[in-house]
Homo-oligomer: A and B are copies of this chain.
């Protein structure tokens, strides 16, 4: 009767409150165990286990067993991307769960989107990379130019290492709430973790807030100035 991918199934998976809570918890990029996710979602471990196996079957999660623990993380960047999109839609339609605490400003400024940098600083970095011609956007493809390769190598990132990875190096991740793009893919991931290594930034696992140190913010501003 109908044609095309079964979008309803995937959406229904995300559409349950308990599962949605688990997925948002996983947006921090950190792998979590069944018990932790149960706590996040406010359900018992049995229920959580059932939910998680459904999410796994649906291809949204990547499970890893380690001893008697089972760690779950988001399956890939695409999943994170869709989740961010849904957050944008929910926020746009004024369907925020009331909570305009002080953390919101920080979240808008810099936050973790799965495992790369999002928020104002994320889009600033993206725009700056484009403006400096370190990245070029070709249709849907995003390519690192020669100067961009030098730039990130200078920053201390091993590109040949990254390329071993099967996942794409650069990816555009659209932040719907701001209608701006930021950088995902293995390079986006590497940049964020490099910022952490350099002690420029530190991420709060609980809230997805990325807080930059005074020095880190200065260095960042210098590297990714706009205009």
Contact = CB atoms under 8 A, between A and B. Distances in A.
Interface of A: 1-17, 19-21, 23-24, 42, 58-60, 78-79, 81-83, 85-97, 99, 103-104, 174, 176, 179, 207
A104 B3 CA distance: 10
Given A12-B15, A15-B14, A90 B5 contact: yes
A30 to B, nearest CB: 16
A95 B5 contact: yes
B78 A10 contact: no
14 contacts: A2-B24, A4-B99, A5-B97, A8-B14, A8-B15, A9-B95, A11-B15, A11-B86, A12-B16, A14-B15, A59-B95, A60-B89, A78-B89, A85-B85
Contacts of A93: 10, 58-60
Nearest to A27: B4
A104 B5 CA distance: 11
A6 B86 CA distance: 9
Contacts of A14: 7-8, 11, 15
A16 B73 CA distance: 25
B6 A90 contact: yes
A93 B11 CA distance: 13
